[in-house]
């Protein structure tokens, strides 16, 4: 599973957690979703900032079986060093 798939999977999982908590707490689902979102929102914001860094995005694409090689523009050697071996600079 790559980072994009993981990120898009979190929304429905958050709704599922809120549904279970609503039943357990005896409140409506909207209230439970608000509480869950407030508690987890900050962590998810930090997580999204980390996984959408350039190196994370390039690594995610480079690890796809359909990708043979990624060529970065000249001068991006630092980014190429942080990513898999099939990422090179021109």
Domain ranges of the chain: 3-52
The answer, yes or no, to whether residue 80 has pLDDT greater than 70, is yes
pLDDT attached to residue 57: 77
pLDDT attached to residue 3: 65
Distance in angstroms (rounded) separating the CA atoms of residues 70 and 83:
10
Q: How confident is the model at residue 13 (pLDDT cuts 50, 70, 90)?
A: confident
pLDDT in tens, 19-70: 787 788 888 878 877 877 777 777 777 877 776 677 777 888 888 888 888 8
DSSP 24-64: HHTS-HHHHHHHHHHHHHHHHHHHHHHHTSHHHHHHHHHTS
């Amino acid at each position: 599973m790559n980072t994009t798939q993981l990120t898009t999977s979190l929304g429905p999982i958050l709704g599922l957690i809120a549904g279970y908590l609503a039943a357990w707490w005896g409140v409506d689902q909207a209230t439970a979703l608000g509480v869950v979102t407030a508690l987890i929102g900050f962590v998810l914001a930090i997580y999204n900032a980390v996984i959408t860094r350039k190196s994370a995005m390039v690594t995610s694409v480079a690890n796809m079986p359909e990708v043979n090689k990624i060529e970065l523009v000249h001068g991006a050697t630092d980014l190429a060093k942080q990513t898999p071996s099939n990422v090179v600079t021109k």
